[in-house]
Structure 1
Amino acid sequence: MASPLHIDFVSDISCPWCAIGLTALEQALTDVQDEVVADIHVQPFELNPDMPAGGQDIGEHLTQKYGSTPEQQAQIRATIAQRGADVGFGFNPDGRGRIYNTLDAHRLLHWAGLESATQQLALKKALLVACHGQRQVMESPEVLLAAVAQAGLDVARAQSILASDEFAAEVREAEAFYTGQGIHSVPAVIINRQHLISGGQPMAVFAQALRQIAAEVRS
C-alpha cells in the first residue's frame, strides 16, 4: 500500500538548481509511485528580495553577491546545463541575461496554491521554463500571465492580483517561517514537515529518501 507524503518544495523561480531539483523530484515520485503517493506544495523563498525594478545583469549580480569571476560563472553554467540535460530540463545556452525581483511570481503561486496544488505546480513549472529556458523578463506582467494561462488558471483574477499587493503579506509570512526554521538556501524539500533534503539532488537521491520515509510511515 502506498504511503501518503506531504512535500513542501521551498524555492525561488530565479534559482536554476530549483528547476533541476523539481524535475528530479517529480521523476523520483514516478519511480516510487507503487510505494508513495504525494502532493507537492510550492513554498516561497526570495533569493533577492531587494532587487529593484529592471533587475540586474546576471554576471554583475553573481560577481557582486558571490565574488565569482566570469570564468567561474561559465563553468557553473556548464555544470547546471549538464545537470538539466540529465533530468530533461533545457536551460537557455545564453543563460538568463538578467535577474529580476520575483515577489509577483510568488504572489501568484500563493494564490494558485489556494486554487489547486496541481495547478500551482503547473504554474511553477511554467515560470521556471520561462525564466531558465526562454530567458524571459520575470517581472513582466505579460510573462507572468502567460504562465498563468498555461497552467489553466484564471488570467483575469491573476491580473487583479498583480494590480494590487494581494498575498504579499502571506508570501512574506511564509518566507519568514521557513527562514526561521533554518532554510537559508534553496531548493529545500521538506517531507511530512520534518525531513529535509537540501539542494537540486539527482533523482536517485530523492527516490531513496522517499522510499525510506514511506517505510517509516508504514511501520
Structure 2
Amino acid sequence: MEHSKQLSSDQPLRIDIVSDVVCPWCVVGYRQLAKALEQTDTDYEIHWHPFELNPNMPSAGQNLREHIMEKYGSSKAESDASRVRMTEAGNEVGFTFNFDDDTRMHNTFDLHQLLHWADQQGRMHDLKQALFAAHFTHGRNISDKEVLADIAAEIGLDRSEALAVLEDQRFAQEVRETEKHWQQQGIQSVPAIIFNERHLVSGAQGVENYTQILKQLADMAD
C-alpha cells in the first residue's frame, strides 16, 4: 500500500495511477483527484505505476520547447499557450509550474527505478511528489543520478543506497516488465487512473468530475 487513508474496516477504494514524472497533467490530475477524495471523505489506497512518455529520449534530455515542437509540430505560440493553461491548472490545485526557456524534457527510466526502490520502503508516494516538484517547480536536472540521489535523501531515504540503485540498475528488468504490463492493458497515454481495477479514467478530469466518479463508485459499492 503506497498512500492511503482509511476510517472504517470496509474495503478501501483501490486507485492505480499509471503516470510519468515529466507529465504535467499527471501531477495536476493527481492533485485534482486528491481534492475530490478529501471532499468526499473517501477511504482509499493509491498505487503508482511507471510509464515513460519518451523512452527513446537520450539520457541527457532535451530542451522542452524543442521537444514539444518536434514531437507535436506545435508552434512557439501554441507551446506558450499550453504552458499558460498548465500553470493555471496547477495554481488551482496548489502546484507551482515554473516553465522557462531552459526547461528540459528528460528520460525517466532511472526515475522509475528509484521509485520502485522507494516503494519497497513504503515511500514511493512521497518520492513521486518530491520528483514532481523538483522537475516542474524547481527545474532541477532529473537526468543526473546525483540529483536524483539528493532528492531521495531530502525525503529521508538513504542517499548512497539510492545512488547504488541507479548505478547498478538492479530494478531495470522489473520496471520494464511493469511498464509492459500496463501497455498490454491498453494504456497509451497518462495519467491513467484505474478505480477498483475495473474503471479506467484517462487524463486530468477536474475536481468536480472526480468527485462525481467517486460518488458513483460509492453508490455502486452500497
Task: Report what 1:25 is aligned to.
Answer: 33
Pair 1:69-2:75 in alignment = yes
Q: Deviations over 1:149-197 (max 9, x none)?
A: 2332222321210111111111111111111111111001111111111
Q: Which amino acid aligns with 2:150?
A: A
Alignment of 1:1-219 (within 5 A): 3-33=11-41, 36-94=42-100, 97-116=103-122, 119-217=123-221, 219=222
Q: How many residues matched? A: 214
Is residue 110–residue 166 contact of structure 2 (8 Å, CA) maintained in 1? yes
Superposition TM-score, scaled by structure 2 size: 0.91
Structure 1 stretches lacking a partner, 5+ long: none
Is residue 50–residue 175 contact of structure 2 (8 Å, CA) maintained in 1? yes
Quote the offset at 1:211 in angstroms: 2.1
Quote the offset at 1:114 in angstroms: 2.1
Quote the offset at 1:93 in angstroms: 4.0
CA RMSD, aligned part only?
Answer: 1.5
Q: Deviations over 1:127-152 (max 9, x none)?
A: 00011111111111232122212332
SS, match of residue 70 in structure 2 = helix
> Which is further off, 153-162 or 189-198?
153-162
Is residue 65–residue 101 contact of structure 2 (8 Å, CA) maintained in 1? no
Q: Which amino acid aligns with 2:59?
A: A
Superposition TM-score, scaled by structure 1 size: 0.92
Quote the offset at 1:24 in angstroms: 1.3
SS, match of residue 163 in structure 1 = helix
Distance in 2 (CA, whole Å) between partners of 1:205 and 1:115 is: 33
